[in-house]
Amino acid sequence: MRNPFIRLIFLVFILLSVVAFPIIRKASDASVHIYSRIEVQGITISQNGNVGICTVSPTEALSVSGNGLFSGTITANRFVGNGSGLTNLPIATANLALTSNIAISLNAQGLIGAISVATGNTIMAITISGNVGIGTTAPTTKLEVAGTVSASAVVVNGLASAANFLPIPTANWPDFDAGSPYLIYGALWVGWDATAQVWKYHKQNGATAPRGLTDPGNPNTWTVNGSTMGYFNGNLSSLPSGTHINNKYNPDMMAYRCNQDDIQIKIGSVWVDKYANRILDVGSSYSGSTLKDDGADMQGSGQTTSPYWMAFSQKAQCSTGMTWFIAQIAANNAGKRLPANEEWQSAAMGTARSAGNGVANGDSWSSVTDTDLSRYGVVGMVGNIWEWVGTWWQSGIKTTTFTQGESAAAWGASYGDDYTWNVNGSAYGNAGWTNNLPAALLRGGLWGSGTNVGVFALFAYDAPSSCSIIIGFRSVR
């Protein structure tokens, strides 16, 4: 074929036969293979319906061996692979399932759509377990940030705050009986969850846990539900009167360090012990619990009292037989103090008992009647023991002529013969009735005082150096 024109026609015929007339073959497994005329593999349709392009063994509904170019949109529920070659995917592609530990990471280019699993300079990572890391590639919690966080709000279980969490909703504040003396009905408890490192609240149902007499225990067991149990901002000073706390779960208190119950109630601006105090010797390890009660070492000035003697408010037999000085020191060691006279009075209001010989279980408070409860839930302030308060004053009448400004070594030898000046009165001390001594007030009345006791009973009889098995105390902070 020397004629060039005939040659051209022949070549065109060959090309058309290759492109336009493919070879279709049926394999033994009923798959269909489509070849070009020069038998280069093209499309395979397997018996199970899988389609392969440039592969004779498609394992998926569509298997492609080679690159693809698409001018339109590809829609899929998810992409599976090791991600080593994925680039320029949109941020919205959040269902990438990768085989390495890091499921999705954004590289430091900061470009929208720049998702890469490449190592180095990663600024954000989401692990297969669902942990999110910002500034770290190995987050061990649900959210871990290596750096400073700035946020207008933090939301946890629906509760948000500009700082940490919101104050406790007023719907969960303590509630009270509808009629006089308006005793607390359902108490509000607060405490520190040391496991989650957050403050929690627990509003009790007065029908099932009345008067705050049931300690709800460790806050890490309080299941947050967004209603009766939740998180709050930890501002204890803003809580309403009647709020209860066990300082065993208050990291600011010694009871927390000593792992001791120490139950208090917010009344006004102070926290008052719910129960009369037990003095425990916790020892230098702060883990002991030796009860100090009516011993010779409790009858002194406090000058040699151990710093490990601490006063705790516990639902058990209280300590008695201490001087005012020992009571104050034990309260101080626990981060508290004796109440002022007016603070004791506020805490006792609402207590109905007016006969000391009717108290039941005053040694253990294994059960408590409404008669022995104050309005805010303080227990046994009347008719159990006389209770020291912090207030001293001049009491009685001096039995001899008083000279203004006179002085006397009224405290006695065990107090270094220290002097008092211008005290025109007398009080019962460690040496009996003594002139020129102030009295430290006692409140409430003891079990044997009959109808003489009550919320207004006041005993300005004993000097601070006095002690007796009928005298105890409770603390405040």
Instruction: Give the pLDDT band (50/70/90) at residue 351.
Output: very high
Instruction: Give the pLDDT band (50/70/90) at residue 400.
Output: confident
Average pLDDT over residues 21-34: 58
Instruction: Give the pLDDT band (50/70/90) at residue 107.
Output: very low
Determine the residue type at 68.
G
Average pLDDT over residues 308-318: 97
Q: What is the pLDDT of residue 61?
A: 80
Contact, 390 vs 339, CB < 8 A?
yes
3-class SS at 7?
helix
Query: When comparing pLDDT for 27 and 20, which is higher?
Result: 27
Other beta carbons less than 10 A from residue 262's beta carbon: 30
Average pLDDT over residues 110-135: 61
Whether the predicted pLDDT of 97 surpasses 70:
no
Whether the predicted pLDDT of 327 surpasses 70:
yes
Whether the predicted pLDDT of 95 surpasses 80:
no
- Return the minimum-mean-pLDDT range out of 52-61, 102-111, 156-165, 239-248: 102-111
Q: Which residue has the tokens 């929208």?
A: 112
Q: What is the pLDDT of residue 81?
A: 58
Q: What is the pLDDT of residue 85?
A: 60
- Alpha carbon 46 to its chain's center: 62
Rounded CA separation 213/368 (Å) = 8
Q: What is the pLDDT of residue 103?
A: 46
297 Cβ contact partners less than 8 Å away, ≥ 6 residues apart: 305
Strand partners, 458: 443
Query: When comparing pLDDT for 98 and 341, which is higher?
Result: 341
What confidence tens digit (pLDDT) does each residue in 425-477 have? Answer: 999 988 899 999 999 999 999 988 888 999 999 999 999 999 999 999 999 99
Whether the predicted pLDDT of 82 surpasses 50:
yes
110 Cβ contact partners less than 8 Å away, ≥ 6 residues apart: 123
Q: What are the residue ranges of CATH 3.90.1580.10 in the chain?
A: 277-394+438-473
Whether the predicted pLDDT of 105 surpasses 90:
no
Average pLDDT over residues 371-376: 97
Rounded CA separation 330/8 (Å) = 115
- Return the minimum-mean-pLDDT range out of 47-61, 102-116, 200-214: 102-116
Q: What percent of the chain has pLDDT over 90?
A: 58
CATH number listed for the domain at residues 277-394+438-473: 3.90.1580.10
What confidence tens digit (pLDDT) does each residue in 124-142 have? Answer: 778 777 788 888 878 888 8
- This prediction's pTM: 0.69
Instruction: Give the pLDDT band (50/70/90) at residue 114.
Output: very low
Query: When comparing pLDDT for 266 and 148, which is higher?
Result: 266
Contact, 473 vs 311, CB < 8 A?
yes
Q: What is the pLDDT of residue 68?
A: 75
What confidence tens digit (pLDDT) does each residue in 159-171 have? Answer: 444 345 899 999 9
Instruction: Give the pLDDT band (50/70/90) at residue 322.
Output: very high
Rounded CA separation 243/216 (Å) = 13
Other beta carbons less than 10 A from residue 425's beta carbon: 18
